[in-house]
Amino acid sequence: MKCNYHTHTLRCMHAEGSDESYVRAAVAAGFDVLGFSDHVPFPFAGGYRSTIRMPMSDLDDYVDSVRTLKKKYADRIRIHLGFEAEYFPRYRDHLLRLRDAGTEYFVLGQHYADSEEDTPYTGLECRTDDGVRRYADAVVNGIQTGLFSCVAHPDLMMRHRTSDQFNLACVYASDMICQAAKEADIPIEFNLLGLSLQLAGIDRGYPSVPFWTHVRRWQNRVIIGVDAHSPLLLRDAALWREGHDRVEALGYEITDHLPIDD
């Protein structure tokens, strides 16, 4: 199967293209499954407004759109309704309500160690070793809730680090994350958005070669995530092949689909 469960929409304010354009791109590229997983909205306290995720006011439109496309394209591709979400303990009940309302899966993308309202972006915070440790703790806590189907860009700690800065703190953090994912039997993601930028000469920090080389010892299952912020990324067959080739060369077992497609 050719599946992608990491797909964004215009609502997150840093993607492009209509919802249907992502579906058409996935069909044209031969995908069997397309999961929409835009950045989850949170009912932030105190009127805080995020600039990297849909507001709560867009939630119903997102859900209705994905469900409409699911029916419209049922004979050509399987579509799922999901979210990429951080685990913020103070908003755990919100994720549970979304799950109970019909969300099919959550991707764990821990962009903030605690809530976005009062903590810095993970990539910036992880320039310090203390930030790396907080990131790992947050990811492990999220995995252990049992709410998440896979871990997006587990090497996000390297966003603003170079390969030679993969130090002892990064080693411990990587082991914590991969051990927890192994015990929970969920795959970790090899991120193609990061790879696409690296191939274009822009070092996004992940996929991180030191990370993927080090954590091979855990024998995690790996899922390919396009992390599509544009339909063009879904159409990039060469990028998909390059991602698969790199994961296989590193000695990992590739998981082509999540249990919702068993």
What is the tally of helices (H) and strands (E) in the chain?
A: 10, 8
pLDDT tier at 168, thresholds 50, 70, 90:
very high
pLDDT at 11: 98
The model carries a pTM of 0.97
The fold adopted by the segment(s) 3-261 is: TIM Barrel (3.20.20)
| Mean pLDDT of all residues belonging to the chain | 97
State the Cα torsion 4-75-25-199 to the nearest 10°.
30
Per-domain boundaries in the chain:
3-261
Residue-wise pLDDT tens digits, 73-125: 999 999 999 999 999 999 999 999 999 999 999 999 999 999 999 999 999 99
Following CA atoms 22, 19, 98, 70 in sequence, which dihedral angle do they give, to the nearest 10 degrees? -70
pLDDT, tens digit (0-9, with 9 covering 90-100), for 18-76: 999 999 999 999 999 999 999 999 999 888 999 999 999 999 999 999 999 999 999 99
| Cα–Cα dist 28/6, whole Å | 17
**Amino acid found at 184:** A
pLDDT in tens, 138-149: 999 999 999 999
Q: What pLDDT does 209 receive?
A: 97
